[in-house]
Amino acid sequence: MEIKRFGYFWLDTWVMANVIQLATQDFCTRFLNHTNDPCGRQFDQMTQAARSAPANIAEGNSRHSTSKETEMKLTDVARATLSELANDYLNWLLRHEQAPWSIHSSEYAQVSRIPLEKPCYEEDVQHQSSLHILKQKHRFDTWLQQDDSIIVANCILVLCNRLIMMISRQLENQLATFRVEGGFTEALTAERLAHRTEKSRQADAPLCPICGKPMIKRMAKKGINSGKEFWSCSNYPECNGTRKIQ
């Protein structure tokens, strides 16, 4: 029950999104003030964007069994809000006449290479996952706890770009699953067709004259036979076999 309810707690993308949210909240509290953010709009925008990422990953994963389309849309929203947040950190650096760390720099390489540990939860999922998130955040404390906002902003920017790539891979996997299994609508259609086919078998329905599979009753929606029932192959649209109902 716990695993089914909190399935997203095991996702590395959700864990990293929480790390970024905590780091962003700390960054905004420490470095934004009435001088550089007099109306508090940047504080609100950055913290809301940071909150949106784990929230949409969680909601999307929770919809996995009912609507894979919704799952992919929400996951993509998480990726989009992270891009927005990354641009905020890039703007902070530019405002201070600084460029982000080069991908060839030692700082960039060090932050990029720190792996997330695999979660290991038992029955107390929320408690243990919270400890796990805090532990992963502390792995980046060398940069996140600096008093220099440039170093902190650079670190979080690298984490944002890293998570965007992780979510892109997650979306690719979701799309591959969707191609094989279909979505919620396809599943309902398949279930309805299987039910109708079984009823046809029980009612001694005729077999398709083309492929030999059981036929099911359908109603013509147009033409001269509109509103009249006829036998249709249960394998439609792959097979177009029909029979008149005597």
Per-position DSSP letters for 123-134, written without gaps between them: S-HHHHHHHHHH
* Look-up of token digits 């060839």: 104
* Cα-Cα-Cα-Cα dihedral sign, residues 211, 212, 214, 216: positive
What single DSSP character describes residue 214?
Answer: B
Torsion angle, alpha carbons of 84, 86, 87, 93, to 10: 150
Backbone angles phi, psi at 67, to 5 degrees: -155, 100
pLDDT given for residue 200 in this prediction: 57
Print pLDDT tens along the chain (246 aa).
Answer: 444 556 889 999 999 999 999 999 999 999 999 999 999 999 999 999 999 999 999 988 887 666 778 888 888 999 999 999 999 999 999 999 999 999 999 999 999 999 999 988 888 899 999 999 999 999 999 999 999 999 999 999 999 999 999 999 988 887 777 666 655 555 555 566 666 656 655 567 888 888 888 888 888 887 777 888 888 888 887 888 888 887
pTM over 0.75: no
pLDDT given for residue 203 in this prediction: 62
pLDDT given for residue 2 in this prediction: 46
What single DSSP character describes residue 101?
Answer: P
Burial class (CB in 10 A: 0-12, 13-18, 19+), 152: buried
pLDDT given for residue 171 in this prediction: 85
Task: Give the Cα separation of 9 and 12 in Å (integer).
Answer: 8
Task: Give the Cα separation of 210 and 140 in Å (integer).
Answer: 66
